[in-house]
Amino acid sequence: MPDFFAKRFEDRILYRENDGDAFERFVDEFLRIQAPETAFVPGLAKGPDGAIDLTDKNERTTQIVECKFIGSKTDGTAAKRWAEVKSNLDKNLPPLAAGAGEKRGRYRPWLKSHGDLKTYTFVTSAIAASVDERNILHKSIRAFFVELSAKHDELGHLRDIEVDLRYWDDLVGHSAHFAPLFFRWFGGLPPGYGEITLSFGSETGFKRFLQNNRLPYFGRDAFLAETGGNGDATSKPR
């Protein structure tokens, strides 16, 4: 099995979109495998997203996921990216809670009246330099929500929110258990193996009958035409 621990997210073989969108899609697929009981919904709309990349599908949101791609050759850090998110939340949530909702509609799932938020998941493609770095960032996120909760009743529930912080280390640590996901995104299958596709050949290929949406109807008229028969003499005329 390949050493996925030696890979970073930009080493992937799937390049359908930019790094940020791709990382969000990878995290979505990862969480769907890890927590199949939770149906996550990606935010596909362009522009400001309310600091929300994924949410659960409950009528009242219970989990918000934010994904941040950080390339291995940049000076970006998880703490810097969190600082950006923190600034956006601090700038938009208190006014929204107080009734100034213009251009802030995408932040509404954060409010007590619009959700039942229990978990905030912050995922980054950066590697944690140390346990201290991880603990400091976790405490920083937690302290911010406690501080924010005191600014309005609509934000009071954020005091008790669970902070779920994940680095690339946490994701790749599941590569052995989520092997199909990592093979698809990063390659490494042994020679002679490949992805199983849904295609069985050409439109007229021998195995097309295996796809029931292509199975032709073989009725009485077709049978008589093929066999040269005239039908049952006692049958009623049509």
What's residue 186's pLDDT? 94
- 119 in any annotated domain: yes
- 129 in any annotated domain: yes
Range of the domain at 122: 4-186
Q: Which two tokens stand for residue 28?
A: 């979505």
- 152 in any annotated domain: yes
pLDDT band at 103 (very low <50, low <70, confident <90, very high): confident
Pairing mode, if any, of strands 40-42 and 54-56? antiparallel
Greater confidence, 42 or 120? 120
Of 148, 156, 149, 153, whose CA–CA distance to 99 is shortest? 153
- 209 in any annotated domain: no
Residue type for 207, please? Answer: K
> What is the total count of domains within the chain?
1
What's residue 212's pLDDT? 47
The pTM of the full predicted model, rounded to 2 decimals, is 0.78
Q: Which H/E stretch holds residue 117?
A: strand 115-124
CB 171 within 8 A of CB 68: no
Q: What is the pLDDT of residues 191-223, one digit of tens each?
A: 666 544 333 344 444 444 444 444 555 566 665
- 226 in any annotated domain: no
**Would residue 152 be called left, alpha or beta, if left means φ above 0 and alpha means ψ between -120 and 50 degrees?**
beta
What's residue 237's pLDDT? 46
- 116 in any annotated domain: yes
What is the secondary structure of 169-209 as a DSSP string? HHHHTTTTTTHHHHHHHH--PPTT--PPPS--SSTT-GGGG
- 166 in any annotated domain: yes
- Cα 49-38-31 angle, rounded to 5 deg: 70
Q: Which H/E stretch holds residue 62?
A: strand 61-68
What is the secondary structure of 63-80 as a DSSP string? EEEEEE---TTSS--HHH
Greater confidence, 59 or 90? 90
- 144 in any annotated domain: yes
CB 115 within 8 A of CB 59: no
pLDDT band at 115 (very low <50, low <70, confident <90, very high): confident
Provide the β-strand partners of residue 66. 122
| Cα–Cα distance for residue pair 127/101, rounded to 1 Å | 37
pLDDT band at 3 (very low <50, low <70, confident <90, very high): confident
Q: What is the CATH number of the domain that holds 36?
A: 3.40.91
Pairing mode, if any, of strands 54-56 and 61-68? antiparallel
